[in-house]
C-alpha cells in the first residue's frame, strides 16, 4: 500500500459524458502527478500540481483538466469523453517541489475508465 | 530523454536471482537510470535508481556499466510476488515526468 488513494476504482460511462477522478496523496506529500496508461501508448504523464498550483503539463488534452485543493487532494476532470479515453488513470505523489527527480513518486492503485 | 531497450519477456525460477538487462546507449551525462515495476493493473512501484555507481537497496541491485550505455537490475532471490512488468527508464536530472514503454514481463515460476 503506497498511501495514495484513488476513487473510484472502476468507472464505466458513455461517449460525450464527463467524469471526475479523485486522488488523495500520501500524508505530507505536496506534489501530485496524473498519468494515463493505455495498451497502445504505455504510461504518459498528464499534469503535475505542487501545493495547489499547476507546475507542469504533459500530453494532456484540452478536454481534460485538473486541480489540487487546499487539503492537497486532487481531481482530474475528463469531459466530452471519447472511446480512446478508455485507460487506466494513475495518480502519484511525492514530498517536495517539482524538479527534484530523486523524489520517489508513489503511485495509487489507479482508476480504470471504460468509455462505451 | 534517452530511449531504452529491454527484452519483452523473461522467466525466472523462484529463489534464483533474476537479471534484467536494459540498453540506453544514447544516455547523456545528466540522465539517471530508474527502474519501476508494475504488478498486473496495479500502480507502478519504484524499485531503484542510479547515475553511474552501482546501487543496492532492500528490493534490488542496479549495476551500471562504466560507459553507462547499459544496466542490469538484479532481484537477488525472486519470489512469485516479483512477477510483474519491469520498466527501465532514463530521466534528466531536473525532470520528473515519467513515461514507460513496453518493459520486460518477468514471470517467476515455482
A10 near A59, Cβ under 8 Å?
Answer: no
Mean predicted confidence (pLDDT) in B60-72: 96
Confidence of residue A88 (pLDDT cuts 50, 70, 90): very high
CA distance B94 to A98: 8
Q: Is the pLDDT score of A34 beyond 90?
A: yes
Confidence of residue A1 (pLDDT cuts 50, 70, 90): confident
- pLDDT confidence of residue A99: 53
DSSP 8-state class, residue B69 = S
Q: Which residues face B38 on adjacent strands?
A: B85
Q: Is the pLDDT score of B105 beyond 90?
A: yes
- pLDDT confidence of residue B88: 95
Mean predicted confidence (pLDDT) in B19-31: 93
> A43 vs B45: CB contact, 8 Å cut-off?
no
> Looking at chain B from residue 90 to 109, which residues have their Cβ under 8 Å from any Cβ of chain A?
91-102
Q: Is the pLDDT score of A6 beyond 80?
A: yes
Confidence of residue B44 (pLDDT cuts 50, 70, 90): very high
For an interface test with A, the pick among B8, B33, B44 (most A C-beta atoms closer than 10 Å) comes out as: B44
What average pLDDT does the structure give for chain A? 92
Minimal-distance CA residue of chain B relative to A58: B97
Burial class of residue B77 (count of CB atoms within 10 Å of its CB; 0-12, 13-18, 19+)? exposed
CA distances from A60 to A12, A56, B72 (A): 21, 10, 33
Q: Is the pLDDT score of B1 beyond 80?
A: no
Q: Where are the beta strands (DSSP E) in A1-116?
A: 5-7, 10-13, 19-24, 31-38, 42-50, 53-57, 64-68, 74-78, 87-94, 106-107, 111-115
Amino acid at each position: 500500500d503506497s498511501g495514495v488513494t484513488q476513487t473510484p476504482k472502476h468507472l464505466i460511462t458513455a461517449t460525450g459524458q464527463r467524469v471526475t477522478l479523485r486522488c488523495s496523496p500520501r500524508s505530507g506529500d505536496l506534489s501530485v502527478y496524473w498519468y494515463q496508461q493505455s495498451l497502445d501508448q504505455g504510461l504518459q504523464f498528464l499534469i503535475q500540481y505542487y501545493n495547489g498550483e499547476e507546475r507542469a503539463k504533459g500530453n494532456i488534452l484540452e478536454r481534460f483538466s485538473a486541480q489540487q485543493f487546499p487539503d492537497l487532494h486532487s481531481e482530474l476532470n475528463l469531459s466530452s469523453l471519447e472511446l480512446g479515453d478508455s485507460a487506466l488513470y494513475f495518480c502519484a505523489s511525492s514530498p517536495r517541489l517539482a524538479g527534484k527527480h530523486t523524489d520517489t513518486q508513489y503511485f495509487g492503485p489507479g482508476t480504470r475508465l471504460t468509455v462505451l | 530523454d534517452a530511449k531504452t531497450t529491454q527484452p519483452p519477456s523473461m522467466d525466472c525460477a523462484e529463489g534464483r536471482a533474476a537479471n534484467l538487462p536494459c540498453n540506453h546507449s544514447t544516455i547523456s551525462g545528466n540522465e539517471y537510470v530508474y527502474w519501476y515495476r508494475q504488478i498486473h493493473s496495479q500502480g507502478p512501484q519504484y524499485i531503484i535508481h542510479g547515475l553511474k555507481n552501482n546501487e543496492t537497496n532492500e528490493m534490488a541491485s542496479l549495476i551500471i556499466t562504466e560507459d553507462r550505455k547499459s544496466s542490469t537490475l538484479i532481484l537477488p532471490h525472486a519470489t512469485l510476488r516479483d512477477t510483474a512488468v519491469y520498466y527501465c527508464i532514463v530521466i534528466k536530472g531536473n525532470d520528473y515526468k515519467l513515461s514507460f514503454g513496453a518493459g520486460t514481463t518477468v514471470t517467476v515460476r515455482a
